[in-house]
């Protein structure tokens, strides 16, 4: 996890007119506090439109996605965000993820227990 690159193996799980939500499993064993490759799935959001209505739809989709991920046996969702992307860091907290650790001097690791 030192280089903060998860992989390029993102699997889209929702495609909307506002963007795409993808999930990603970590390709190698890792451990950061309570997070590891067997209990954590990484989330990615590629967003092209933003509005209050989009946010409300995303919250609905996120709720369903969390339920599905939990049924698969995962305990955490996580994301890695470059520190320099202030809006993206704030975006994580809008969906309930909390800053958990600095991965290196350039990236933040966010997590949510589900």
Q: What is the pLDDT of residues 99-112, one digit of tens each?
A: 999 988 999 999 99
**Res 14 pLDDT > 70:** yes
Assigned fold of 11-113: Aminopeptidase (3.40.630)
**Which pLDDT value is given to residue 70?**
96
The whole model's pTM is what?
Answer: 0.84
Q: Is the pLDDT of residue 3 over 50?
A: no
Q: Rounded to whole angstroms, what are the CA distances from 72 to 14, 40, 57, 58, 98?
A: 17, 11, 23, 21, 22
Q: Encode pLDDT of 44-90 as tens digits.
A: 999 898 899 999 999 999 999 999 999 999 999 999 999 999 999 99
């Amino acid at each position: 996890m030192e280089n903060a690159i998860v992989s390029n193996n993102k699997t889209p799980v929702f495609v909307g007119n506002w963007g795409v939500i993808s999930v990603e499993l970590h390709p190698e064993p890792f451990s950061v506090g309570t997070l590891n490759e067997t209990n954590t799935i990484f989330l990615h959001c590629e967003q092209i439109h933003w509005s209050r209505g989009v946010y409300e739809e995303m919250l609905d989709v996120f709720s369903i996605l969390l339920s599905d991920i939990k049924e698969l046996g995962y305990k955490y969702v996580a994301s890695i965000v470059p520190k320099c992307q202030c809006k993206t860091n704030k975006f994580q907290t809008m969906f309930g993820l909390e800053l958990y650790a600095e991965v290196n001097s350039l990236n933040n690791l966010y997590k949510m227990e589900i």
